[in-house]
Homo-oligomer: A and B are copies of this chain.
Amino acid sequence: MKRDLDALMEARGLDAFVVSGRTYGNPSLVYLLNGAAVTQGIVVKKRGETPVFIHSPIERDEAAASGLLLVNMARYHFTDILRETGDRLKATVELYRRIFADLEVRGNVGFYGMADQGQAYLFLSALAKALPEIRVRGEYDEALLDVARATKDAGEVAQIREVARLTCEVVEETVAFLRRHPVKDETLITDDGAPLTVGRVKEYVFRLLAERRLESPEGFIFAIGRDAGVPHSQGRPDDPIRLGQTIVYDIFPRRAGGYYFDLTRTFCLGYAPPEVEKVYRDVADCLDAVVAEVRVGVEARRLQQVACAFFAGRGYPTIAEHPETEVGFNHLIGHGLGLAIHEEPVFTDVPSNTRTLQPGHVFTVEPGLYDPGKGYGVRLEDVLWIDEAGRVHNLTPLPKELVVEM
């Protein structure tokens, strides 16, 4: 949480940190700016002090909404610095030298926020050389801002709950839309007599999202049959919607610039083949088994272990024993969820992953079983939240039913 920033800085020996870049695709910057509708900027925070936002002059109104201390970038006359140095890299180093001098930043300084990787390497290498009074720091794993963002406060959870509510509505409306279609030769038929396709369903879903002012910038998965058997296949637009086939519907929308939700349901229209019924029960049971393990202090990797052991016990291959398997359970059990779809905590099952579940964590649990050769896949995904008292809440108020009656 934001209130942990000073403690996290202290644990890392940081005297200050910088988060910079454009806001688009840069959740740590959006986080610190409290959602202010600016396009870019530099946030500098010293330990124990309020962050300072160095903002574009033409965004001074929007910058004020951040609630941070404001410094107008115009005062640095960056174009003049560019003229003096004759080089954008040198000019940027000089800009930071002046900012750090004004704000009296020295010592260990962490750098975060999205940038072109080659440019970040050149810039931070040059900065480290040019400013002996600071030491450039960063963390490759469990980076400060990622860890702070992982534990959500009440206001953040309220925003996630609202997106959850709307996302559940979208899924229910999608199922209702499917059920309104007549069936001919096991295939859903549209008004013009043609088969209903994945592409048509997706168009309808985009409309449902837009009506709720949700955006889905990374698309969503609506995949049927064989494609449902490949976890991240988004679904082929021309595929007809047929009875008795698994449909994996995995959708992860957000309010513009805000918190994501993430939800997966699998269903068959009309009826389900017996093998799919069994697989579905096993996935649902696995979800229950994993959720039962969730409590403060448990190692995150334990959830991955529980899922793999559960599925192995029921006779399925898993990536724990078969890293290249395309059949069975072949992905991570979940991921943190917030301003990014995938964030801390990370559930990879390796000994070096010593993360433990903490109050405030919001994350998905999403076991799945796949067999593309047999033409099916099943995944179920709920979002859990551990509140400050350590109680575990399921944030996905949507039932799970394999068969949708037609």
Contacts and interface: CB of A to CB of B under 8 A. Distances in A.
Contacts of A274: none
Interface residues of A, number: 87
A57 interface: yes
A326 interface: yes
Task: List the number of copies, as a whole number.
Answer: 2
Given A79-B348, A230-B58, A118 B89 contact: no
A59 interface: yes
A351 B83 contact: yes
Given A351-B86, A352-B86, A230 B61 contact: yes
Contact of A21 (B117, B124, B351, B352): B117
Contacts of A61: 227, 230, 232-233
A26 interface: yes
A161 to B, nearest CB: 22
Nearest to A331: B58
A117 B144 CA distance: 13
Interface of A: 20-26, 28, 37-39, 56-62, 72, 74-75, 77, 79-80, 82-83, 86-89, 92, 110-125, 136-141, 143, 203, 206-207, 209-211, 213, 215-219, 227, 230-234, 256-257, 319, 323-324, 326, 330-331, 341-342, 348-352
28 contacts: A21-B117, A24-B341, A25-B26, A25-B114, A38-B232, A39-B232, A58-B231, A61-B232, A75-B324, A77-B323, A82-B352, A87-B141, A87-B352, A111-B118, A112-B117, A113-B116, A114-B115, A114-B116, A114-B117, A115-B115, A119-B138, A119-B139, A121-B121, A121-B124, A210-B210, A210-B211, A215-B215, A217-B256
